[in-house]
Structure 1
Amino acid sequence: MSTVSGLYPNAITPTVSPFGDLAQRAQQRRDNDAAVFAPVEETETTAPGQNRSDRRDNQPQPGQSSPSNVAASVNTASSSPSEGEVQASSETTPADDTSAFARQRDEGRAARQQAEQRQLDQDLETIRELAARDREVRAHEQAHQAIGGQYAGGMSLTFERGPDGKRYAVAGEVPIDISPVPGNPEATLLKAEQVRRAALAPAEPSAQDRSVAAAAMQLKMDAQIDVRQERR
């Protein structure tokens, strides 16, 4: 029996490299590991990573303001008054209040001064009138006393207190005796004439003075009749 040690002419001989298969499997394992355990830097290229990258890009750099902050600042600036306006309002409003208060104070002071001046003028006028009346009353009653003599009584005065606190005579009287002298018509005649002159002694006799003068005149006429009768 013979042994065939050659190759068949049409046979396909498979070539198997044990080291090549191991290299391929190791590369495939590395690819699978890379797909499953991708590093963070590679996954940032995915959609979620892209979003985070966009957000970082949108964050403002140091020294810059974000668009939303800029818009808020613009809105705040447009809605709030400027510093000059706030300062002007704070400066003008107290000044206006002070000016109005000063005007009211000055007007009130001027009104009080005018009222006080009017009152002072009235008081001075009243004092002048009272003083003049006091002089007139005293002179009037003194005239009665001076001429009435023994037939005139003491002077009685009515006083009124003036704005200055002083008392001024505003009225007065002097009692006078106009009765006839009993049993002596001639003495009665002389008395009646003196009483009549005393009643009319003041520069401006009053109605009462004229009434006393008339009564003295009547007494005088009666005394003259008595004197004539005695002589006959």
Structure 2
Amino acid sequence: MKQNPKAVLFDLDGTLLDTAPDLGAALNQVLREEGRAEVSNDIYRSYASHGANGLLTLGFGEQDYAADQARLRAAFLAAYSAAIHHHSVLFPGIEEMLSELQQQGYLCAIVTNKPSQLTQQLLPYFAPLNALDVVVCGDTLSVAKPHPQPLLYAAEQLAVEANQCWYVGDAERDILAGRAAGMTTVLAEYGYITPDEVPAQWPADHRIAEPAALTALLRQLTLA
């Protein structure tokens, strides 16, 4: 059974960091180089949590991307790496939320599907995130979310039982991974959710419209 939390684990893109502008810029650079029409911010933004494959599928279409996936993906990752932090920012309230969690004694970690190389390149630009002791990336293990093992590995690194962890993310795979790991799940509704997704059907334990709502939830639990 789930117990009162000792640790809070977070997804990265769309949960802690608003990386959509830089991811979208990389997509549009590749589209321009390939003679394709660019994608506007209001369209690509909601796909940012789906990473390189999701964004490239959006830009090129499933069939054209599949036909030249390796080359297009390499071009996208090169473009993104070259300008990885130009416009990315912490979501409003994240720094304050992390500070309050740590003051209250909660351990914090990141579990992302972003590759290690890009994650390690990005985090130093954001001191509140770079200070976290445990970061599990998409290639840290042989499996990634929605598999629960990356979350379980993060809990192990924190020396906390999985049922004493909350996992916060903005994608369905985050909720599925958290539930499979036996953690309390929190859907960050302020993140990246595509128009065809139905987050109301995702089996999250809690839903938050802003980061401050997470600490409010935890305070309520403490007072209960």
TM over 0.5: no
Select the structure that is richer in helix: 1
TM-score (normalizing by structure 2) = 0.19
Q: Which has the higher contact order (CA 8 A, sep 6+)?
A: 2
Which structure has the larger Rg? 1
